Amino acid sequence: MSELLEATSPKALTPAVLRSLAGITGTAVVSVAIPTQRATAEPQQNALGLKSATQRIEQQLAQRGLEPHAAGRYTGVLERLQADEVFWGHQLHGLCVIVWDDGWRAVRLPYPVEARAVVDTRPHLQPLLPGVAEQGMFYVLALSQRHVRLLRASSVDVAPVDLSGLGIPARIEDALPDEDLQSPQLHARSGGAGGRMAIFHGHGDSGEFERQILDKYLRELARGIDDLLADDGRPLVLAGVEEVCAQFREHTGLRTVLADEVSGNPDDALDAELRDAAWPLVEPVLRRPLEDTVERFEAHHGTGLALADLPEVLMSAAMGRVASLLVRSGAERWGRFEQTEGLMADRAQRQDPGDENLVEQAIALVLDRGGHAYVLEADAMPADADLAAVCRY
């Protein structure tokens, strides 16, 4: 599996994708994270961080005993990305690259990450956790008769989704055949880029006809958006006049559509303006799962359902007991853990090439068994520990 993912594209960094990465293990798995600049006059400046990371990866692969030809399967992916000028011209604020024995994935991220380059037996997923649904990503669907925009956004970034490339009609004229657009009061004239543009007069019988046409279009649009975002899980904020938003709600089956909306005609609003208007509506929704996890940990502390001891967290995660895991940002513990043997070594720094990052192992075990993981700054952790787990039973 070789794939470039972008956290500003649908079907990219979803909980399902993160869970699939959590299931990867091997003798050597490369994880690289570097900060990048979205707009730079010298795109290759972004590549310098990857070049430096590649050198560190080469050293670690050699320490693990890999011969140069075997190590080249991993470093070759990084070197090909370094040389790809088009790739570096389209960066966001962070980049993660994961390489394993028979595949790789690169993920552009709309938030900055700390530089890291490590070889382990599984991917290091901590830099990716803020990109999943529960911690900062959402959609804005700008609805109007003239043009529809789907935006994927975070608190710091926004990018349009190419609906036409996904077969979803962004205009009424793209969704309905000519005969459906014919009425004594409805005419068509040439629009931008050689297309047709419907002209609604909005009086008499044509007013009702216009509403029928709009309703047909919104039904088609809702079907496409529902299919696109069915398994995504991120909140969707509608932007538009009240009547059009209400019509769309009648046709969509998505449970992630927020009750509140950005009111008004969105045609003249910039993407960033729509993101800024939607953020106060969506922020409480995005933070709720994390806040609920912290509250449950505090409520169950001392009952056996809230754990902060590393060996207990690891064993419970391996058994599938952990529903949610809180991770101190930047936390690292190195050693070895096996479900049959328990924790065999635990140290603050890596002392042996065979040591595993136990924090990352806990994250992977929780995700692989259907749980959730969140990153918190140290002062926000509900316990003075690297990990805090809330158990199912």
Residue pair 267/239 in contact (Cβ under 8 Å)? The answer is no
Same domain, 91 and 169: no
Quote the CA–CA distance of 93 and 34 in Å, as a whole number.
9
| pLDDT recorded at residue 125 | 96
Quote the CA–CA distance of 338 and 315 in Å, as a whole number.
8
Same domain, 242 and 307: no
Quote the CA–CA distance of 339 and 352 in Å, as a whole number.
20
Asked whether residue 131 is domain-assigned, the answer is no
Same domain, 87 and 161: no
Please report, for the domain that includes residue 91, its CATH number.
3.30.960
- Out of 241, 260, 286, pick the residue that ends a domain: 286
**Residue 10: CB partners within 8 Å, gap ≥ 6?**
152, 161, 166, 228, 229, 232
The mean per-residue pLDDT over the stretch 214-228 comes to 93
Same domain, 305 and 279: no
The mean per-residue pLDDT over the stretch 24-31 comes to 96
pLDDT level of residue 156 (50, 70, 90 thresholds): confident
Question: pLDDT > 70: what percent of the chain?
Answer: 87
Same domain, 117 and 177: no
Q: What is the pTM of this model?
A: 0.82
| pLDDT recorded at residue 183 | 55
Eight-state DSSP code of residue 218: H
- Give the residue among 74, 26, 73 at the shortest CA–CA distance from 53: 74
Asked whether residue 373 is domain-assigned, the answer is yes
Asked whether residue 315 is domain-assigned, the answer is yes
Asked whether residue 191 is domain-assigned, the answer is no
Cα 71 vs. chain centroid, distance in angstroms? Answer: 30
Asked whether residue 193 is domain-assigned, the answer is no
Rounded to a whole number of angstroms, the distance between the first and last alpha carbons of the chain is 36
- Give the residue among 278, 244, 247 at the shortest CA–CA distance from 261: 278
| pLDDT recorded at residue 331 | 95
Please report, for the domain that includes residue 248, its CATH number.
3.30.420
Between residues 110 and 269, which one has the greater pLDDT? 269
Asked whether residue 147 is domain-assigned, the answer is yes
- Out of 286, 312, 340, pick the residue that ends a domain: 286
**Residue 197 pLDDT exceeds 80:** no
In degrees rounded to 5, what are phi and psi of residue 381?
-65, 140
Same domain, 146 and 280: yes
Q: Where are the alpha helices (DSSP H) in the chain?
A: 15-22, 44-63, 68-82, 85-88, 172-175, 205-229, 242-251, 271-300, 310-318, 358-368
The mean per-residue pLDDT over the stretch 208-228 comes to 89
Q: What is the pLDDT of residues 42-53, one digit of tens each?
A: 777 889 999 999
Low-confidence winner among 167-176, 279-288, 321-330 (lowest mean pLDDT):
167-176
The most confident of the ranges 35-44, 104-113, 187-196, 203-212 is 104-113
Structure tokens that stand for 91 in this block: 């960066």
| pLDDT recorded at residue 196 | 45
**Residue 200 pLDDT exceeds 70:** no
Q: What is the pLDDT of residues 86-112, one digit of tens each?
A: 888 888 889 999 999 989 999 988 888
Asked whether residue 234 is domain-assigned, the answer is yes
Its domain, for residue 317, covers: 301-392
The count of C-alpha atoms lying within 13 angstroms of the C-alpha of 20, restricted to the half-sphere facing its C-beta, is 11
Same domain, 78 and 215: no
The one-letter amino acid at 62: A
Quote the CA–CA distance of 96 and 90 in Å, as a whole number.
14
| pLDDT recorded at residue 204 | 47
How many domains are there within the chain? Answer: 3
The mean per-residue pLDDT over the stretch 287-309 comes to 95
In degrees rounded to 5, what are phi and psi of residue 153?
-140, 165
Structure tokens that stand for 195 in this block: 């297309």
Same domain, 96 and 144: no
- Out of 255, 286, 317, pick the residue that ends a domain: 286
Same domain, 120 and 141: no
Low-confidence winner among 177-181, 245-249, 292-296, 377-381 (lowest mean pLDDT):
177-181
SS3 at position 236: strand
Phi/psi-derived region of residue 204, left when phi > 0, alpha when psi is between -120 and 50, beta in every other case: left
| pLDDT recorded at residue 205 | 53
pLDDT level of residue 3 (50, 70, 90 thresholds): low
CA angle, 189 as apex, 186 and 192 as ends, to 5°? 130
Residue pair 382/294 in contact (Cβ under 8 Å)? The answer is yes
The most confident of the ranges 146-150, 170-174, 364-368 is 364-368
**Residue 152: CB partners within 8 Å, gap ≥ 6?**
7, 8, 9, 10, 137, 138, 139, 158, 159, 160, 161
- Give the residue among 266, 238, 243, 257 at the shortest CA–CA distance from 144: 266
Same domain, 163 and 269: yes
Same domain, 94 and 172: no
| pLDDT recorded at residue 154 | 84
Same domain, 275 and 311: no
Burial 80-112 (b: 16+ CB within 10 A, else e): ebbeeeebbeebbbbbbbbbbeeebbbbbbbbe
**Residue 268 pLDDT exceeds 80:** yes
The one-letter amino acid at 344: M
| pLDDT recorded at residue 186 | 46
| pLDDT recorded at residue 224 | 95
What is the average pLDDT value for the chain, to the nearest integer? Answer: 87
Please report, for the domain that includes residue 370, its CATH number.
3.30.1330.30
